Amino acid sequence: MTLGPVVLDAAGLRLTAEEKELLRHPAAGGVILFARNFQSPRQLIALTTEIRALRTPELLIAVDHEGGRVQRFQEGFTRIPPMRLLGECWEADTAQARALAEATGYVVAVELRTHGVDFSFAPVLDVDFGSSSIIGDRAFSDEPAVIAALAGAFVAGSTAGGAASVGKHFPGHGYVKADSHVDVPVDERKLDEIEAADLLPYRDLIGRGLGGIMPAHVIYPKIDNRPAGFSSVWLKEVLRGRLGFGGMIFSDDLSMEGASVAGGPRERALAALEAGCDMVLLCNAPGSAAGLLDALKDRALDPRRAERMRGRGALKPLGSDMRYASAVAAIQGVSV
């Protein structure tokens, strides 16, 4: 049996009988967790154990755990600073900033893995052009080369901690003011402008083992009139072809307003998959989940790409991991 291409969410601290049935559907391939799914480290382990027991191969389990204002699990987890703080550290000491970024990636990976989560949708690779409130301090810097250096260190730390990384939001969400959660952003720049800035971190990290990429629900009309996540130009021609990316492409949440131009949930999912996405996320739309799964019942996930996203390596008790202790101390040494 293989996994399917759909990533679903859950309503609470344990799975309901209906959620278990949905996640056993052939089209299901993963679960994304939110703050509402977390009460304590012990409860989280029980939930991820419950999810993993549903089927073989096990469903992928993910979370948005970037740091700053986007950190779903807090009690019992190290508070991760916003990535902007690492960019500010870079201005003072590049070597220290790089070491701190690697320590951050390691701590995020080890803590998630210890609690049964495979990976986080991080790092954010968007360039901070000073106009996007939804990105803001989630971005490392306003300089693409600095983003590439710090995000590369983050990815190296995450890999060492046993977790893959997912760069987002391809090709870049930092230039537009509109928030794709509630609007349909349009970026009027030409391709050469985007290539010179936004694509630099992707070009660099793809060569360094980036496991996954999430495209933006942003329209770049000078390149294609469809949002990047529904655009074969962006996903097949640019990302797969020109940049040579061979990992997993995840759609951003299909329930966001930025995805509305593609139709209803089924139409959005089919459009994303046809454009080149491997997996599609449907969050906060429980009434649409069953229909979406049935529409995609014959779609299988590439097992090689799925394995790249699976947590790996033998886990050590956190108290016995000296690298972990040192990394936590480094993170706690900066202002959060």
Mean pLDDT of 217-236: 95
Total number of domains in the chain: 1
**What residue has token string 């987002």?**
168
The confidence score (pLDDT) of residue 184 equals: 79
- Is 324 within the bounds of a domain? yes
Q: What is the pLDDT of residues 255-290, one digit of tens each?
A: 765 556 656 888 899 999 999 999 999 999 888 999
Q: How far apart are CA 36 and CA 38, in angstroms?
A: 6
Q: Does residue 182 surpass a pLDDT of 70?
A: no
Q: What is the pTM of this model?
A: 0.95
Q: Does residue 336 surpass a pLDDT of 70?
A: no
- Is 98 within the bounds of a domain? yes
Q: How far apart are the first and last CA of the chain?
A: 44
The confidence score (pLDDT) of residue 132 equals: 80
- Is 161 within the bounds of a domain? yes
Residues 125, 201 contacting (CB under 8 angstroms): yes
Q: How far apart are CA 110 and CA 291, in angstroms?
A: 36
- Is 1 within the bounds of a domain? no
Which segment of 58-72, 85-99, 181-195 scores lowest on mean pLDDT?
Answer: 181-195
Q: Does residue 214 surpass a pLDDT of 80?
A: yes
Q: What is the pLDDT of residues 94-112, one digit of tens each?
A: 999 999 999 999 999 999 9
What is the per-residue DSSP string for 233-276?
IIIIIIIIIIS---SEEEEEETTSGGGGGG-SHHHHHHHHHHHT
Q: What is the pLDDT of residues 142-171, one digit of tens each?
A: 999 999 999 999 999 999 999 999 999 999
Q: Does residue 179 surpass a pLDDT of 70?
A: no
The CA-atom distances, in angstroms, between 211 and each of 28, 111, 124 are 20, 19, 14
What domain range includes position 165? 6-332
Mean pLDDT of 25-41: 98
The confidence score (pLDDT) of residue 258 equals: 52
The confidence score (pLDDT) of residue 219 equals: 94
- Is 285 within the bounds of a domain? yes
Q: Does residue 77 surpass a pLDDT of 80?
A: yes
- Is 90 within the bounds of a domain? yes
Q: How far apart are CA 165 and CA 69, in angstroms?
A: 19
Which positions are catalytic? 181, 252
Mean pLDDT of 246-259: 83
Mean pLDDT over all residues of the chain? 93
- Under the banding of pLDDT at 50, 70 and 90, the label for residue 334 is confident
Mean pLDDT of 85-98: 96
Higher pLDDT, 135 or 202: 202
Say which amino acid occupies 306: A
Q: Does residue 92 surpass a pLDDT of 90?
A: yes
Higher pLDDT, 183 or 283: 283
- Is 194 within the bounds of a domain? yes
Q: Does residue 69 surpass a pLDDT of 90?
A: yes
The confidence score (pLDDT) of residue 134 equals: 83
Label the pairing between strands 219-220 and 224-227.
antiparallel
Higher pLDDT, 182 or 211: 211
In this structure, what CATH number is given to the domain that contains residue 215? 3.20.20.300
Residues 58, 52 contacting (CB under 8 angstroms): yes
The confidence score (pLDDT) of residue 130 equals: 86
